[in-house]
Structure 1
Amino acid sequence: MKSVLITGANRSIGLETAKQLSEKGFFVYLGSRDLEKGKATVKELTEKGFQNIKAIAIDVTDSASIYAARKIVDQEQGKLDILINNAGVLGVNPQTAAEVSIEDIQTVFDTNFFGVISVTQAFLDLLKKSDSPRISNITSGLGSLTLHSDPTWKYYHVKTAAYGTSKSALNAYTIVLAYELRDLPFKVNAIDPGYTATDFNAHSGPGSVESAASFIVKHTATDDNAPTGQFFSNDIEDETGISPW
C-alpha cells in the first residue's frame, strides 16, 4: 500500500484530499499541528467508512515536530510515496507592498515557503525509497508572475505582498527541486487547486473543495509518463491545466 503525507490536512482542501486518496487505496497520514484535533477528525472519517487514515502531528515551522513525524513514518512505513505540502497561511490584510511589515511577511514565508523546504528536505530520503515518489507543492494562481503582469487576468487587481510573493517563491523552489531530481523517478509539481470556497478566504471562492482536491489528486497520483517541474492550475480553462509561471 502506497503512503502519503499531507500537511495542513485537518480541514478544507487538505482534508478532502485525504479522503479522496483514502478512497483510492492509499495509506494517508493526515498532518495536523494539533494532534488531538487530527485524531478527532480521523475518528469522524473512520465512522463514515474511510480507512487507512492516521493523524500525525506536524508543524511545518517547527523542526522538532517535522523530524518527529518523519520518525513515525520511517518506523511504520520505511518509506514515503507521496508528499503533499498543503499547509499554508494567508497572513494579515491588507498586504500592500508599501506598508506590510517585515514581520508579517516573515510569518507567511515561514509556513508557505520555508516550511515546505523544511518538510521536503526532512522526508526526501524516505521518498527516494519509493518506486514512484511524488512531491506536490500546493500553490496559488496569485503566485504567477506572468498572470500578475497581465491586466486582462481576472484576478489582476488581487495583489498580496506577503501571500502571493510566498507562493511565487514556492514556485521557484519547485522548479529547482524538480530539476535536481530529474534523473530519479520523482514527479515534482506546483499545483494550484483554484479559487476555492474555504475558511481560508471566508468562503469567497467559487470553487468547491471536492473539485480542488480532485485536481490535486489528478496531478499527484500520476503514472511514470506524467510531467514534472510543471505548474498546474484548476483555474486554467484548457485541458492541460498548465499555468504560466
Structure 2
Amino acid sequence: MNNTKVAVVTGANKGIGFAIAHGLGTMGFAVAVGARDDARREEAVQQLRVAGVDAFGVALDVTSDDSVAAAATAIEQRFGRLDVLVNNAGIAGRTDGGAQDPTSLDLEVVSTVLDTNVFGVVRVTNAMLPLLRRAQSPRIVNMSSNMGSLTLQTGPILAAYAPSKSMLNSITVQYARAFADTNIVVNAACPGYVATDFTGFSAPRTPEQGAAIALRLATLSDDGPRGGFFDDEGVVAW
C-alpha cells in the first residue's frame, strides 16, 4: 500500500468543494472528486490535474445507497483506505411560492433538503467508515452553516435549509461521541458567506476562503477538538 494520504470530497466539482479538493491536493493528498454529474466531474478532475493535484473522479450521488456503496468500493480497490472525508455536498432547496416560509412550508422541499444535507452525510460517512478505520489519523469534516445555529439565527428565513444544518451539527456531535475512544476525529465547519452559484455569486468571500476552515479541520492533530463547530474565527455559537 502506498503512503499517499487519500481524501474524498463530496460535491467537489465546483465552488467550495472544488476549492477544498484543490487545497488538499496541494497538501499532497490524492483527492477523489465526488460528484453526480459525469461531465462536470471530469472537467473538475482535469482542472485539478493541470494545477498539479493527484485527482481522480468518483461517481457519487449522496442520495443513492447504491451510488455511495459503489464509490466506497472504488476507493477501496484503488487505495485500500481513506484518510479524510469531507462531506461537502449540499443543497439549499426550492424557495418559490413560500416553500421555505415556516407558515407555508413545503414538506416535500424539507424532505429533499434533508435527504442530501443530512441523510446523505450519514450514507457517505457510514459507507466510508471501514476505510477510515484503516487510516492512521482519520478525519471527517461536515460542511455546515451558521444558519443552522440556534443562537445566531443568521441569514434569510429558510425553514428547510437552516434546520438541515442544525441537524447536521447535532449528528456530528453524535458521531463524535461514538468515536470518542477511536482515532477518528469529526467536526463541523462553517465556510461563511461565499461567492458560488449557491449564493448567486453575490457573497463577499471566495471559495478558497470558505475552504480554509475545512482544510484546517481535515488536518487536525490527534489531540485536536472533536464534535465542534468552527469557522475561521474559531468556535461558532450553536
The TM-score range, normalised by the shorter chain, is over 0.9
Is the contact between residue 108 and residue 166 of structure 1 (CA under 8 Å) also seen in structure 2? yes
Distance 2:180 2:205 in 1: 33
Q: Secondary structure at the match of 1:125?
A: helix
Paired residues in the alignment total 232
> Of the candidates 161, 168, 171, which is equivalent to residue 170 of structure 1?
168
- Aligned pairs for 1:79-158 within 5 A: 79-93=81-95, 94=98, 95-148=100-153, 155=154, 158=156
Segments of structure 2 that go 5 or more residues without pairing to the other structure are: none
Residue equivalent to 1:31: 34
Unaligned runs of 5+ in 1: 149-154
User: Which residue number corresponds to residue 76 of structure 2?
Assistant: 74
- Compute the displacement of 1:108 (Å): 0.5
1:242 maps to a residue whose letter is V
Q: Is the 8 A contact 1:89 1:112 kept in 2?
A: yes
User: SS of the residue aligned with 2:102?
Assistant: coil
CA distance in 1, matches of 2:24, 2:235: 22
Is the deviation greater in 157-166 or in 15-24?
A: 157-166
Deviations 1:34-91 (A, max 9, x none): 22321122112223x3231001100000111101100010111111111100000001
Match of 1:152 in 2: none
Q: Residue 19 of structure 1 corresponds to which residue in structure 2?
A: 22
> Hey, what's the Cα distance between the residues in 1 that align with 2:107 and 2:12?
28
76-85 or 94-103, which deviates more: 94-103
The TM-score normalised by the length of structure 2 is 0.94
Query: TM-score, with normalisation over the residues of structure 1?
Result: 0.92
**Is the 1:60–1:115 Cα contact (8 Å) retained in structure 2?**
yes
| Post-superposition offset of 1:206 | 1.5
Q: Which stretches of structure 1, 4 residues or more, deviate above 4 A after TM superposition?
A: none
Match of 1:151 in 2: none
Q: Which residue of 1 aligns with 2:202?
A: 204
CA–CA distance in structure 2, aligned partners of residues 50 and 19 of structure 1: 9
2:135 alignment partner AA = S
Hey, what does 2:12 align to over in structure 1?
A: 9
**What CA distance in whole angstroms lies between the structure 1 residues aligned with 2:206 and 2:14?**
13
Q: CA deviation at 1:223?
A: 1.2
1:51 to 39, 50, 53: 53
Amino acid at match of 1:116: V
Q: 1:192 aligns with which of 190, 193, 206?
A: 190
Indicate conservation of the 8 Å contact 1:19/1:50, yes or no: no
Q: How big is the shift at 1:189?
A: 0.2
Query: For residues 137 and 178 of structure 1, what CA distance do their matches in structure 2 show?
Result: 12
Identity %: 40
Aligned-pair Cα RMSD in Å: 1.1
